[in-house]
Amino acid sequence: MTGQAHTGRPSRLLRNLSSKIASIPMMLTAVVIFLGGTIWTVVYSFTNSRLLPRAKFVGLDQYERLWDAPRWIVSIQNLAIYGFFTLVFSLVVGFLLAALMDQKIRFENTFRTIFLYPFALSFIVTGLVWQWILNPEFGVQSVVRALGWTSFTFDPLYNADIVIYGVLIAGLWQGTGLVMCLLLAGLRGIDEDIWKAARVDGIPMWKTYLFIVIPMMRPVFITTLVIIASGIVKVYDLVVAQTSGGPGIASEVPAKYVYDYMFQAQNLGQGFAASTMMLVTVAIIIIPWAYLEFGGRKRG
C-alpha cells in the first residue's frame, strides 16, 4: 500500500506545474534583462566606450582611472558615512518607535500613519522640502535667529565639511517610518505567552527585549537590514534635489557619479566601471543575507 501511494504521487518537478508555467515569463525576464544587462555592463566596463558602446578592450584602465578620481573617492567616503549612520539610527530609532507602538497606545493607527507618511513621498519631494528647511535664509537658522539667538548657525547644506549630514537628516526622516513598521510587524509576531512568562519570572522589560525578543526577530532584522542597505547604495534623488552634489563635489555619491559619466560626460566605459563597483557592493550585501536566510535555515 505504501509503495502504491508513493508511486501515485507526482514527482517534485511536476508539483504545482501550473504555477511554474505561469512564472516562466518572469524567469525569462529576470534572466534575459537583469542577468543579461548585468553581464553586458561588466563586460563593457573593460572597454573604452564613450558616447556609444564599442568592444575595444583596455583591460583595467577604466578601474584604475576610477580609483584615481578624487570625485569617486569622495563619493565612496560619503556613501560610507551616510550608510553607517543610516543603518544605526534607522534601526535604533525604528525599533524604539516600534516598541512604543507595541504597547497598545491610544491613536496607534494615527501615529503609525504619521510616521509612515514620509515614505510615501518621492525622494525628490523630500529633498526639496529639506532643502528649504535647512536653508539659512528662511529655514531653521532663520527661525531660531528671529527668536533672539542671533549667533545660532545651522547650514549643513552649505558647509562642505558636514553637507552629507544634511542629506542624512532627510534620509532618516523619510525611511525610519518604514523600518518602524517592519519591526512592529515582527514584534506583533512574538507569542504573547513569552511576554507573560517573562513577567512571571520578574525579568525587566529591557532585558526581555534585549535577550529574548530581539534574538527571536533575527529574520525580520536581517530583511530590514537588506532593505536599508540596498536603499543606501542607490541613494541619488536626495542628493540631486538637495545639493546637486555640492558644494563643489562635497556631497557626491556613487549613483550620481555613474549617471553623470554615462549621460552627461558621455563616457560609458567609466560609468560602466563605477556601476560594476556598485554591483559588487550590492553582492556583498545580498550574498550574506541569502546565506543567513536560506543556507542557515536549510542547515537547521
What Cα–Cα distance (Å) separates residue 242 from each residue in 13, 55, 63, 166, 283?
Answer: 52, 37, 29, 9, 29
Same domain, 108 and 18: no
Do 70 and 9 belong to one domain? no
Distances (CA, A) of 6 to 2, 12, 13, 55: 6, 12, 15, 56
The residue range of the domain holding 179 is 61-295
- Residue 66's contacts (CB-CB under 8 Å, 6 or more residues apart) are 72, 270, 273, 274, 277
Q: Are residues 213 and 248 in the same domain?
A: yes
Cα dist from 16 to 7, 22, 26, whole Å: 17, 10, 16
Look at the chain and report how many structural domains it folds into. Answer: 2
Query: Does residue 182 sit within a domain?
Result: yes
Residue 53 lies in a domain: no
Q: What is the pTM of this model?
A: 0.85
**Are 122 and 4 found together in one domain?**
no
Q: Are residues 65 and 133 in the same domain?
A: yes
Amino acid, single-letter form, for residue 35: L
Query: Tell me, what CATH number does 194's domain have?
Result: 1.10.3720.10
* Residue 207 CB-density burial (10 A; 0-12 exposed, 13-18 middle, 19+ buried): exposed
Residues 98 and 29 in one domain: no
Examine the domain organization and report whether 215 and 168 are in the same domain. yes
Do both 98 and 141 map to the same domain?
yes
pLDDT by residue for the chain (300 residues), tens digit each? 444 444 556 566 667 777 778 888 888 887 888 888 889 999 999 999 988 888 889 999 999 999 999 999 999 999 999 999 999 999 999 999 999 998 888 888 898 889 989 999 999 999 999 999 999 998 999 999 999 998 999 999 999 999 999 999 999 999 999 999 999 999 998 888 888 898 888 888 889 999 999 999 988 998 898 899 888 988 999 999 999 998 999 999 999 999 999 988 889 999 999 999 998 888 887 787 777 766 655 554
Note whether 182 and 115 are same-domain residues: yes
Q: How far apart are CA 211 and CA 12, in angstroms?
A: 40
3-state secondary structure of 57: strand
Q: Is 153 exposed, middle or buried (0-12, 13-18, 19+ CB in 10 A)?
A: exposed
In a domain, 125, yes or no: yes
Examine the domain organization and report whether 6 and 136 are in the same domain.
no
CB atoms within 10 A of CB 252: 26
Q: Are residues 85 and 34 in the same domain?
A: no
**Rounded to an integer, what distance in angstroms lies between the CA atom of residue 170 and that of residue 156?**
12
pLDDT of 154? 92
Same domain, 151 and 255: yes
Residue with cell 528671529: 146
